[in-house]
Each structure stands twice: as C-alpha cells, then as structure tokens.
C-alpha cells in the first residue's frame, strides 16, 4: 500500500507551512510511495506539472525540505505570487535571466538541497505530459547531482488546474480528492536524457493513476449512480426508428426492471447482445451488468462460423436481440433462447414494472438505487464485458475487459476534456466495436454527455441528418465511414460540429485536408485496440491560451501523429527482431502498460502469452515517439513485407498507388496490398483492386513517380470488392486469402 505522507519542514516559515498543510489535507487525501529512495545529498527532482498547488502536494509527500523553481513572470504580474515566492524561498527563472538562475540552482544543489524543477516548463493545459525542457541536464551536470523523476496524479480537474480550459472559475470538488505521488529512484543525469526521463515519468504517472480509488469500483454501480444523479436530463436521442427522446431516469428504470428478470431467468455468467447502437443496446447492456452477468456484444456482421465460435467460447446460451434485426441477419446462428428486447420488457409488466424504478430515480439518493439493485461497490479486476476482436488478421479472440479496464478508459477520456458533459455525440459505431462499447455507450452514461444514435455507420445520410437536426457537436468514426459523410454533406449540415475523432485505421492526409477546407474542422486522430478498452492515444484541440501570467502556446495535436499517451499509460519501443528496447524516437514495435490494458484472452493462454512481453502488451504495430510525446504509427507488423532484406510497408505502398494513379476512395477501399511468399526475394507484393488496373500500368506509373522497384506489386488481381470488416477495417485475413488465390491461379 502507498505510504501516508508525514508532516515535514519545508523552506517556508513554520506558521505559514502549518496553515497551508492543514488546508491541503482538508482538500486532498494524499498518499505517496518511493520517497525513501531519495538521496541524502543534493538532487534535482524532475516533476510533472498539473496545477498551481503541485508544490504543496510534493512537499507534503517528501520527508526532506524542497526548494522549488518557478517562472519569474508570475511574481512580476501578481502580488500573490511575489509573496509566495518570498515565503517559500522559491528560485525565480525566466528566459531573460536563465544563466543567473541556473547558477543559483547549482549553488543550492551543491549545498545538498533537493531542488524541484517542473521540467515541462509550465502547467500542462491538456492534462497530459507535455514536452520536457532540457535545462535540468546542464544543472545536474554542473552540480554533479543525480536526477529523481517524480509524478503525481489527481490534481488535474481541481479548480487549480486548467481542466475545462480555465483556472479557478469552475465548480469545486465537494469530496476530498485522492492524490497519489510516485517517487522514482535517483539516476545519473547521463542515464536520463529527455527521452529516457519522459519514459520514467510516464511509468510513474501510470503507477500513480492505478492507485485511483475510482478504478476499483463496479462499472454497473457507477453507471447507475451517474444516471440517477440527473434523471431529468435528456440522455439519448434514439433515431433507430423515427425519433425518440430518453431521459437518464428512463434508461435507468428500464434497465433496472429488465435486470431483475435476467437475474431470475438466466443462470449463465454471460449474456449475448445483438443490437445496433441505440436505447435498446444501452438498456440491455446495463441490465445484464445490474443482473450480475457479463454482457457479450456479438459482431452480427461476422461470418456464421466466427459467430458460432464466439458463442461457444463465451458459453452464451441466451441472446438479447430484436425481431426486426433477426429478420435482417438471417445467417446468424441464433441460439434457441433468443429474446426479443421489446417483447421481454412487455412480458415483465412493461411500464408498470419500470415506473417504481423511475420514481426511485427521481426521489431517492443514487447510492440507495445502486444498493436496491444489489450492485457491489467493488468490481476492479472482475470481468465486466467480453468483446471479440474483429479478426482482421485471423480468427476472433475473446477480449476480457474488466471493470478497471473500462473505468480507466472512461476516466482517461474524461481527463482530456475532449468529451465534456455539454457534448452531444453521434453514436453510430456498433456496440461490438470497442469504441462504441466504451466511448459512445458507457462513457456518456457515466459522464452525462448526450448521445444521438444512428443504427449503422454506413447510413451516411442518416448520420448527416442527425448532426444537422440534433445539432450534434462530436462525430466519431473510422475514416472508411467518414469519407462518404465528407463527400455528401454540405458545410451548413455539419455546422454544429466542434470535434471529429477518428481511429481504427490510419487517417489519410487527403481526408484531413478535405475536412479542413470544406467544413473548417480539424480531425483528431486517435489510436487504440480492443485490448486497450480501446483508447490509448488521442490528439486533442490545442488548449486555450490564458491571457494572464504570460502563458505560452501548448500543442494538443500534431498532424499524422495519433496523439500523446492517455493519462495513466506508458509505452516502450522494441526492436521487432530482437525484442530489445530501443530509444523511443526510433521506429520499432510499440508496447503498452496501463489500467485500461486487458489481462488476457478468454480460454486462450497461447494467444495471451503471445500478446504480452515481460508484462507489457504487444500492440503488433510499428511506431515511434517524437520528443513532444506524440506517437506516430507506421503500420502493423503483419502489414510489412521483407523483400530483399528491406521492410516494405503495405499501407505506404497503397497510399503511393492511390496518389500516383489519382484514385477515388471516397466510397471506400479500392486497393489493398498484401505480401505472399517468393522464392527469390523472400516475399512479393500483390495488389488487390476493384478497378480495371494492369500490372504494367501500375508498374510504369509508380516507377515514373520514383517509387522504389521493391515497392512495386508484381501481381494485380481484380476483385468485386475489397474485403472489409464491419468495423471499417480491412479484412486482412480475407485479403490474404485473395492474394494467395491470385498467386495460385
């Protein structure tokens, strides 16, 4: 367990110190770990910076007095900060007097003091670890002292942070906030260049995030409490059939009533759900959780064999669906006990069964309702949901997501303020898609942002009309689904949008430019996997620039990158051949750790073992970080061919073909490149296309555009359509089979 910090003397006058420490302990429940590793002599403490009260929290968690370095502009602009600097003995520094301040810092270090430097140079206004400044290296070398990385978690979101794009002027937290401080071990500065220091701080930040009490809670209980806090609020506009408005209390009451029936009649641990995004899917998922069961959202666009395998692995005998959907999905292997959601609710009493729960939502405290449903307070690492991977490169695997996984990802998204409770989000992604499962179903019910549901991401006109008529502010989807929207929508129809978020596949540059030119919107590319619940990285809009205290511009996004790590996550880059760690700025295999990372595949120890390396989740993607912390994904390891000793990226070759031949991809994929065995070069490239292209034409145009010869496909195979999964991704297994068939024909 983390240590409870003891009171210690700081560089402040003792009376001021006692007052400040007392107030801080009234507001925060502070814990720390690792401070016993601090050296006896001088050292630089390299810390992240999330709020104005970081110095108080760090001092309270440290057994030795700390001396802080602060921006001199604060003291020049306001008397309060001048007083704070004077009372605390802080060292003021700015670009104009950097040399003098550096000498002062070195003198204090040589005298054996611990000097805290907020190495980002300013308070983060994104909630993420920003670019680290290099000044600490010079100071540590000149003073011949080690560097101690430290990270704290819990202060972002307080009135003293910039969450919500403002300081101070926001609703204060009513309960004491848990704050965790993680102290690293002292290391020679030669071993801690900026990239290495950043990794240490991410590691410590991840450990601090994992101590949040919220992550040990039960997902169902959190959702019930969230809905019960605002029963009168419009929670969802369901456009599955016509238009239906549902308030938070109605969703909760329907789910509560249904949950009692499921608890009585379904003995199995897991319950299948086959429904499009909408009120029905949300009610069914919450009802299953409230019944003490595990929802299994099944991909009804997958083949019958894959679905049968999923049902068998999950031991699902009961499926909740809708008769209308069953009529459309005729090749689905429906189990004998398949329930129509609407009929089932009517059979348990309909409105009569729902009314008592609706009254309870309106008049009883939210904790009481959760207790009435017998929801445990702790979920933590117990299974909360089961999703099956899309099977883009093989057979689907059952991804077990725990309460901690889903709640971690919800809190990570909340930390970035990209989806505030004022947002109105288009929910069109299938619930069997991990982003639809977490970000457009569970997160809104916990957080309170409105969802406008459209039953299919392929319903382009339905999505455009929903945005226009409901004044939606956030659109999420894979590039495959966004392209038709861009092509068919008029600027005035998307005028209400503030944010467009995309993931699941690489965002083409031309799609970004089209959104910017036609609609004046920047597309925020993110990155994640089913195994990361799903969001691991995301770009976010550049944070606002406060007019006071000389704040400088901070980067929230970077084009082509997939964003910085979500709070609470850390990463490494490995050499894909040796699996040895390499500098994070070099291209290699990306691996992750974090509370949102799953623990393993259901009943598949072999695949689980392959998915982890020394406790780190292996994404299977090649990428690199820049010094600002942005991740660049170069492609999946499985989407590279080794030809003549050179790694050739399939995705890059595809983009060259699209650009060079000026192909139109507005309606979806028109080309896909795959690798097949070749006795001479190791592998050869096969171009799959639904267009009339010849190998000679492709070769001549690529070589004329100075594309390397090794990158030119040897075989061109025409298909009726490029294989695509229901999630919008390329069906890599289907493409591989088509490529092999082309070679053997």
**Are 331 and 383 contained in the same domain?**
yes
Give residues with Cβ within 8 angstroms of 657, minimum separation 6: 663, 671, 673, 687, 698, 702
pLDDT for the residue 635: 72
R_g over Cα of the chain: 27
**Are 304 and 371 contained in the same domain?**
yes
**Are 129 and 112 contained in the same domain?**
yes
CA proximity to 209, closest of 443, 444, 411, 6: 411
Domain edge (last residue) among 374, 402, 430: 402
Residue 275, domain extent: 213-402
Burial class (CB in 10 A: 0-12, 13-18, 19+), 709: exposed
Contact of 569 with 411, CB cutoff 8 Å: no
CA proximity to 414, closest of 438, 382, 386: 438
Tokens representing residue 540 in the block: 């976010």
Q: Which long-range contacts (CB under 8 A, 24 or more apart) does 510-519 make?
A: 511/479, 511/482, 511/483, 511/486, 512/559, 514/486, 515/482, 515/486, 518/486, 518/491, 519/486, 519/489, 519/491, 519/494
The three-class DSSP label of residue 476 is strand
**Are 314 and 397 contained in the same domain?**
yes
**Are 707 and 612 contained in the same domain?**
no
Tokens representing residue 495 in the block: 């005028």
**Are 720 and 574 contained in the same domain?**
no
Structural domain contains residue 388: yes
Structural domain contains residue 552: no
Structural domain contains residue 538: no
First to last CA, the chain: 63
Structural domain contains residue 522: no
Structural domain contains residue 461: no
Q: Positive or negative, the Cα torsion across 653, 656, 662, 665?
A: positive
Number of structural domains in the chain: 4
**Alpha-carbon distance 373 to 222, whole Å?**
12
**Are 235 and 369 contained in the same domain?**
yes
Contact of 621 with 505, CB cutoff 8 Å: no
DSSP string, 38-86: --SS-EEEEE---STTHHHHHHHT-SS-EEEEEEHHHHHH-HHHHHHHH
**Are 633 and 660 contained in the same domain?**
no
pLDDT for the residue 416: 82
Residue 271's CATH number:
3.40.50.980
Taking only the tens place, the pLDDT of each residue in 564-577 is: 999 999 999 998 88
Contact of 129 with 48, CB cutoff 8 Å: yes
**Alpha-carbon distance 226 to 172, whole Å?**
18
The three-class DSSP label of residue 385 is strand
Residues in the chain with pLDDT < 70?
Answer: 1-21, 24, 70-89, 92-96, 98, 159-160, 163-175, 390-395, 546-551, 637-638, 642, 644-647, 666, 680-681, 726-728, 745
Structural domain contains residue 425: no
Residue 601's CATH number:
2.30.38.10
- pTM of the full predicted structure? 0.84
Residue 657's CATH number:
3.30.300.30
pLDDT for the residue 392: 47
Tokens representing residue 367 in the block: 């904790």
Structural domain contains residue 286: yes
Rounded to whole angstroms, what are the CA distances from 369 to 221, 366, 469, 510?
9, 5, 35, 50
> Could you tell me how many residues make up the chain?
745
**Alpha-carbon distance 704 to 686, whole Å?**
19
**Are 197 and 240 contained in the same domain?**
no
Taking only the tens place, the pLDDT of each residue in 479-488 is: 878 888 888 8
**Are 734 and 624 contained in the same domain?**
no
Domain edge (last residue) among 369, 402, 435: 402
Q: Positive or negative, the Cα torsion across 101, 102, 107, 113?
A: positive
**Are 710 and 631 contained in the same domain?**
no
Domain edge (last residue) among 571, 604, 638: 638
The three-class DSSP label of residue 280 is helix
Give residues with Cβ within 8 angstroms of 535, minimum separation 6: 409, 412, 413, 435, 438, 439, 503, 526, 527, 528, 566, 596
Q: How many CB atoms lie within 10 A of CB 594?
A: 25
**Are 683 and 727 contained in the same domain?**
yes
- Dihedrals phi, psi of 294, to nearest 5 degrees: -115, 120
Tokens representing residue 299 in the block: 């991909």
Structural domain contains residue 261: yes
């Amino acid at each position: 367990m983390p240590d409870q910090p003891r009171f210690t003397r700081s560089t402040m006058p003792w009376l001021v110190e006692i007052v400040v420490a007392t107030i801080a302990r009234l507001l925060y429940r502070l814990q720390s770990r690792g401070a016993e590793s601090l050296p006896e002599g001088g050292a630089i403490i390299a810390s992240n910076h999330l709020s104005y009260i970081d110095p108080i929290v760090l001092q309270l968690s440290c057994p030795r007095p700390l001396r802080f370095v602060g921006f001199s502009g604060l003291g020049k602009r306001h008397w309060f900060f001048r007083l704070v600097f004077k009372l605390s003995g802080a060292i003021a520094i700015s670009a104009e007097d950097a040399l003098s301040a550096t000498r002062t810092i070195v003198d204090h270090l040589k005298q054996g003091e611990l000097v805290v430097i907020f190495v980002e140079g300013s308070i983060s206004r994104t909630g993420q670890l920003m670019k680290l400044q290099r000044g600490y290296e010079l100071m540590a070398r000149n003073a011949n002292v080690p560097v101690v990385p430290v990270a704290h978690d819990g202060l972002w979101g307080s009135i003293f942070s910039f969450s919500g794009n403002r300081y101070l002027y926001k609703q204060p937290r009513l309960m004491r906030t848990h704050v965790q401080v993680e102290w690293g071990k002292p290391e020679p500065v030669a071993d801690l260049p900026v990239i290495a220091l950043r990794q240490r701080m991410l590691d410590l930040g991840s450990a601090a995030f994992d101590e949040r009490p919220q992550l040990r809670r039960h997902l169902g209980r959190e959702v019930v409490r969230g809905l019960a806090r605002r029963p009168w609020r419009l929670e969802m506009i369901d456009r599955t059939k016509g238009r239906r408005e549902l308030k938070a209390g109605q969703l909760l009451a329907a789910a509560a009533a249904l949950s009692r029936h499921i608890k009585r009649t379904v003995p199995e641990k897991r319950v299948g759900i086959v429904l499009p995004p909408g009120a029905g899917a949300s009610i069914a998922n919450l009802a299953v959780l409230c019944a003490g069961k595990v929802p299994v959202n099944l991909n009804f666009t997958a083949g019958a064999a894959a679905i049968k395998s999923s049902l068998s692995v999950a031991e699902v005998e009961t499926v909740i669906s809708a008769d209308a959907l069953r009529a459309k999905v005729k090749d689905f292997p429906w189990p004998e006990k398949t329930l129509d959601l609407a009929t089932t609710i009517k059979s348990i009493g309909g409105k009569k069964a729902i009314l008592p729960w609706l009254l309870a939502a309106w008049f009883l405290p939210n904790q009481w309702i959760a207790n009435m449903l017998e929801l445990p307070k702790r979920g933590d690492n117990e299974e909360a949901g089961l999703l099956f991977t899309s099977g883009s490169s093989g057979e689907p695997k059952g991804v077990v997501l725990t309460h901690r996984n889903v709640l971690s990802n919800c809190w990570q998204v909340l930390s970035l303020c990209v989806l505030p409770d004022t947002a109105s989000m288009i929910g069109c992604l299938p619930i069997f898609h991990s982003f639809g499962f977490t970000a457009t179903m569970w997160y809104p019910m916990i957080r309170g942002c409105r969802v406008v549901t459209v039953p299919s991401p392929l319903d382009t006109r339905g999505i455009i009309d929903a945005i226009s008529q409901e004044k939606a502010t956030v659109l999420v989807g894979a590039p495959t689904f966004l392209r038709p929207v861009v092509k068919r929508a008029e600027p005035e129809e998307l005028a209400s949008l503030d944010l467009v978020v995309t993931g699941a596949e690489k965002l083409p540059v031309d799609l970004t430019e089209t959104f910017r030119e036609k609609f004046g919107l920047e597309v925020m590319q993110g990155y994640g996997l089913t195994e990361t619940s799903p969001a691991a990285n995301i770009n976010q809009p550049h944070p606002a620039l406060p007019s006071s205290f000389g704040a400088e511009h901070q980067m929230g996004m970077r084009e082509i990158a997939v964003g910085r790590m979500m709070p609470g996550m850390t990463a490494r880059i490995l050499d894909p051949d040796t699996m040895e760690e390499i500098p994070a700025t070099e291209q290699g295999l990306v691996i992750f750790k974090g509370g949102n990372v799953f623990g393993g595949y259901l009943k598949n120890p072999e695949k689980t073992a392959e998915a982890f390396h020394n406790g780190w989740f292996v994404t299977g993607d090649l990428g690199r970080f820049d010094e600002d912390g942005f991740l660049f994904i170069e492609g999946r390891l499985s989407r590279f061919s080794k030809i003549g000793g050179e790694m050739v990226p399939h995705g890059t070759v595809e983009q060259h073909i699209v650009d060079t031949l000026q192909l139109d991809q507005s309606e979806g994929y028109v080309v896909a490149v795959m690798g097949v065995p070749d006795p001479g070069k190791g592998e050869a490239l096969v171009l799959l296309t639904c267009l009339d292209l010849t190998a000679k034409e492709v070769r001549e145009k690529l070589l004329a555009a100075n594309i390397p010869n090794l990158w030119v496909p040897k075989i061109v195979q025409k298909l009726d359509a490029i294989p695509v999964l229901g999630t919008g991704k390329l069906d890599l297994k289907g493409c591989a089979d088509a490529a092999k068939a082309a070679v053997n024909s």
